[in-house]
Structure 1
Amino acid sequence: MNDILEILIRTICAVVLIMIITRMLGKQTIAQMTYHGFVAAITLGSITANLAFNLSLKSWLLAFSLITFSGVLYMLTLAALKSRNARNWISGKPTVVVENGKILEQNLKKLKLTLDTLTQELREKDIFDIEEVEYAVFELNGRISVLRKPEYLPVIRRDLGISSNKIAFPIELIMDGKIIVKNLKQNQLTKEWLDEELTKRGLSLEQVFYAVKSTTGNLFLDLYKDNIHQPIDKE
């Protein structure tokens, strides 16, 4: 019973510590799987797991190790922000694998990538014919960025001379049936305005699950009662 209680306390401490540390390190470290991020994820996960479950090691030593390693990661992050050379060493550099429509075999070898992997990455970008590619770059996070040849670029509204209306950021107003008062205030909207909009549609707040003012300024509503009698259930 004592072991179970100790594991419970250690697990809670481990979760709290790792949450604090990930916030301290910032979103970039956890969102992009660079060399730096890869090492950080593996090591932090290993130390945290030992802190939670390894009763043969003292918890304060593991906590100290976790905090020390996080401090080193934080210092590396600061160094990467201030120096491009440090950033290149810590996170690596993007690598061009297609230039002027030509595959750079030597760069593929450096990355230990095969042509199969390259063509797969291109297919995930909806490119099935490598002839369409002008430049392709493997980024720090292992994903590929592609610039198509001019003749294969999609047509946009500006090419057709069609003017575009200004697009605003969507504003969530109701979530899980509750009004998000903060979003109303930040966007100079009032509860009275929202109530009036719902009344126009013959609705009450209790009926609305989700509401958002879209990029075009229209109000989108999703109700608790969807009136879908046979919802699709894809297993």
Structure 2
Amino acid sequence: MTYVEILIRTILAVGLLLLIPRILGKQTLSNMTFNDFVTSITLGSLAANLAFNASLRPSYIVLSLIVITAMSFLLSLIALKSRKMRSWISGSPTVLIENGKIMEASMRKIRYTLDSLNQALRERGVFNIEEVEYALLEDNGRISFLKKDAYRLVTKQDMGLPQQSQAFPVELIMDGVVVEDNLKLHGLTREWLEKGLRQKHRGKKLTDVFYAVRGTQQQLVFDFYEDGIEQPLDQE
């Protein structure tokens, strides 16, 4: 009976952990603010106890999970309504580089080292700190930066080139299955897809396609089950 109880408790814990982020919103996963960090740690601890700690009554732990979820949801609403409370609940960005100058006092205040700053910039593709005009440590612990004008990439607008509008990519075949809903939503048909396949790849059928997408320039891209690669690079 103990094994059965642990099995049921574990399934309940996983189910609750899948449900709670849907209630709190996607920011809990993508934007780990102070509030989200505390909530995640607490929920993980409570869920672990619910799954394995047979000495605690499940009803007590479920009640704690509900209270934590409600508190986090309430704090999120308060942060949404009040700018002052938002700074305390979610935190606020810290300027680390201003006008190309490293803000040592700000870094000491948040106990952020030069090694951490250089590492964060390298992870974003910046190896020379002299290229950075502004850098901020965001609420979620990530670095945002603005390069100096001399180091920014040239755009079509800078060069005076004509600009084309782009469409959102539409996935047409996923795992070898035609996504009929996407075809209908965008006024496309299976016959149109087959015609596009024949034009780009003669002799191929839809059953040969593993993945297909209509790209940002309305172009069709196909990937087939048979790649024609005899020795893949990751093959041992």
| Structure 1 and Structure 2 fold alike (TM over 0.5) | yes
What residue is the counterpart of 2:227 in the other structure?
226
Aligned residue identity for 1:172:
E
Deviation at 1:230, TM superposition (A): 0.6
CA distance in 2: counterparts of 1:87 and 1:231, whole angstroms: 51
Matched, 1:6 2:8: no
User: For residues 201-221 of structure 1, what are the alpha-carbon distances to aligned partners after superposition, in whole Å with 9 as ceiling and x for unaligned?
Assistant: 332221111110011111111
- In 1, are the aligned partners of 2:208 and 2:224 still within 8 Å (CA)? yes
| Aligned amino acid, residue 198 of structure 1 | L
Q: Tell me, yes or no, if structure 1 residue 65 matches structure 2 residue 64.
A: yes
What letter is aligned with 1:171?
Answer: V
The TM-score, its normalising length taken from structure 1, stands at: 0.95
SS of aligned partner of 1:33: coil
Distance change >3 Å, CA 234–CA 26, structure 1 → 2 = farther
What runs of 5+ residues in structure 1 fail to find an aligned partner? none
Instruction: Find the aligned partners of 2:95 and 2:163 in 1 and give their Cα distance.
Output: 34
Post-superposition Cα deviations, 1:29-60, rounded to whole Å, max 9, x if no partner, equal 12112111111111110001111111000011
Between Structure 1 and Structure 2, how many residues are aligned? 234
Q: Is the partner of 1:85 in helix, strand or coil?
A: helix
Distance apart, 1:195 and its partner CA = 2.4
With 105-114 and 30-39 compared, the bigger mean Cα shift is at: 30-39
Contact preservation (8 Å) 1:30, 1:41:
no
| CA distance in structure 2 between the partners assigned to 1:231 and 1:127 by the alignment | 32
Aligned-residue offset at 1:234:
6.7
Amino acid at match of 1:229: E
1:33-52 equivalences under 5 Å are 33-52=32-51
1:25-104 paired onto structure 2 within 5 Å: 25-104=24-103
1:39-97 deviations in whole A, cap 9, x for unaligned? 11111100011111110000111111111111111111111111111211111000101
Aligned to 2:109: 110
1:45–1:234 CA distance, 2 compared to 1 (3 A): farther
The superposition leaves residues 145-202 of structure 1 with CA deviations (integer Å, 9 ceiling, x where unpaired) of 1111111211111111111211111100000111111111111111221122234333
* C-alpha distance in structure 2 between counterparts of 1:176 and 1:9, whole Å: 33
| In 2: Cα distance, 1:195 partner to 1:102 partner | 58
- Tell me which moved more, 135-144 or 111-120: 111-120
Q: Distance in 1 between matches of 2:117 and 2:136?
A: 10
Distance 2:161 2:47 in 1: 55
Long gaps (5+) in structure 2:
none
1:120 deviates by: 1.6
Distance in 2, matches of 1:143 and 1:102, equals 19
